[in-house]
Structure 1
Amino acid sequence: MSCQKKEEAVRETTVAYAVDRESEKSLSRMTFEEFLAWGDEDIWVEWVDGEVVVLTPAAVKHQRIARFLVDLLGNFVLMRQLGEVIPAPFTIKLPAPQKRGREPDIVFISRERLHRLKPTYFDGAPDLVVEITSPESFARDRGEKYVEYEAAGVKEYWLIDPDRQQAEFYRLGEDGCYRLHTAGAEGVYHSEVIPGLWLKTAWLWQDPPPAGVEALQEIGAI
């Protein structure tokens, strides 16, 4: 799939992965403004081409990894005043021509782009998006959302798969295409959009994951 044909790719993946929404419930069509007014924090939903899609609840292991990453990234960013880390449920409205209101598991918004942060959503592409997959979301996270985030200009995309104990880190190149960056032989990934932050992937698979403060101490942040 050529990343040079952004709009075509988004349309293709929308159709291709629509069949994987067996465990989702589609609601009536509405505008993005109606979607914001309709939803609340107790419902995990996304807005796709004017259609509201209700997503399935997350599993315990998903939530443990999400809590660890929010703690680690959130405190690191806060201490260095780099911007803001926001966990789900929180909507990001991807730039036109895409008609997408997604709810990633975690987003990082740099200080320079906080002016685009609205009271109930972020208008544009975050600097970093983290998606933690589940059997229900696997195809969507690796297909639709991968293409959408790439087309929108999300600089860094972390795809965490608890079932396979696999972490993939994608960075946007100058050509607008994602490139896969591995954690290396030592299993450590250094973020590009959050300067100074590194992640030991083994932390993600611990049961339970380490406390965020322990990871911050090992990083040398505190």
Structure 2
Amino acid sequence: MTTAIREAAVTYETGRSLPEGKLTFEEFLAWCDEDTWAEWVDGEVIVLTPAKRKHQDIKGFLYSVIREFLHYKKTGRVFDAPFLVRLPGTLRRGREPDILYVSNEKLPLLKETYMDGPPDLIVEITSPESLARDRGEKYVEYEAAGVQEYWLIDPDRQEAEFYRLGENGRYRTIAPGGKGVYCTEILPGFWLKVDWLWQDPPPSVITCLKEMGIV
């Protein structure tokens, strides 16, 4: 068992013994269940630590507002953790994004417990434990896999970074526009006022959709 797994196991009570040695992705799926928040990296199991309240507030807000937006626009589906993404090819990764958006064109990639390929949008909400991984490993993996947009949200620093895949297959940073508003190309008509993320409690979904002119 790797040091990373041992350290994660100390802070996260799964109630189940961690597997020894390397697993295939299929073996990982058989071991994992809907109550276990873990990732599969080069055959090893990485158990993730529980999220803090602010992390949960931001995730719940973003998931709810995107889901309600899709109720009207019907361009795809949104999922939140735990729901695995199996990255394609030689990446050998099964990641657990906080939020993922799947367009109608990519719905055939959805399986019962995971997505077999890259979604259109991934949102990761960082913690001190995950910051280096989210900004380093996952940035490189999501770019290589062809995830069109990657949002990286840091509740502790109250910073949000938005990356969009360019024609050269590389991420470029997209800064929010006037009044701190980020307009995504992945969800036409959807925009996000960055200050909404730091409000405690978060704004109501209906308030946000009214500002967008959706309802």
Which TM-score applies when normalising by structure 1? Answer: 0.89
Q: 1:147 maps to what in 2?
A: 140
Distance 1:212 1:19 in 2: 41
TM-aligned CA deviation for residue 184 of structure 1: 2.3
Q: Quote the offset at 1:78 in angstroms.
A: 2.5
Find the aligned partners of 1:38 and 1:168 in 2 and give their Cα distance: 34
Q: Is the 8 A contact 2:109 2:117 kept in 1?
A: yes
1:24 paired with 2:24, answer no
Distance in 1 of aligned mates of 2:150 and 2:6: 25
SS state at 1:174 partner: coil
SS in 1 for 2:66: helix
Counterpart of 1:60? 53
Q: Quote the residue 2:15 is aligned against.
A: none
Give yes or no for contact 1:76–1:221 (8 Å, CA) kept in 2: yes
Q: 1:51: which partner in 2?
A: 44
2:180 to 173, 183, 187: 187
Residue pairs, 1:94-109, within 5 angstroms: 94-109=87-102
State how far apart, in whole Å, the 2-side matches of 1:192 and 1:166 are. Answer: 20
Provide the rounded CA distance (Å) in 2 between the counterparts of 1:208 and 1:22.
35
Tell me how far 1:97 sits from its aligned partner. 1.0
Shift of residue 41 of structure 1? 1.3
Aligned match of 1:165: 158
**1:184 is matched by which residue type in structure 2?**
G
Identity %: 60
CA distance in 1, matches of 2:137, 2:4: 11
Partner Cα distance (1:214, 1:23) in 2: 42
Q: Deviations over 1:34-57 (max 9, x none)?
A: 111111111110000000111100
Query: Matched residue pairs, number?
Result: 205
Distance 1:89 1:201, change over 3 A: same
Matching residue of 1:204: 197
Question: Counterpart of 1:84 in structure 2: which amino acid?
Answer: R
**Larger RCO (CA within 8 A; separation ≥ 6):** 1
Unaligned runs of 5+ in 1: 1-17
Is the contact made by 1:23 and 1:55 (CA closer than 8 Å) also made in structure 2?
no
Residues 94 and 77 (structure 1 numbering): CA distance in 2 closer, same or farther, change over 3 Å?
A: same
Q: Structure 2: which 5+ residue stretches go unaligned? A: 10-17
Kept in 2, the 8 Å contact 1:191–1:198? The answer is: yes
Name the structure 1 match of 2:14. Answer: none
Report what 2:27 is aligned to. 34
Q: 1:143 to 1:78 in 2, by over 3 A?
A: same
- Over the aligned positions, Cα root-mean-square deviation in angstroms equals 1.5
Output the TM-score relative to the length of structure 2.
0.92
For residues 189 and 176 of structure 1, the distance between their equivalents in structure 2, rounded to whole angstroms, comes to: 21
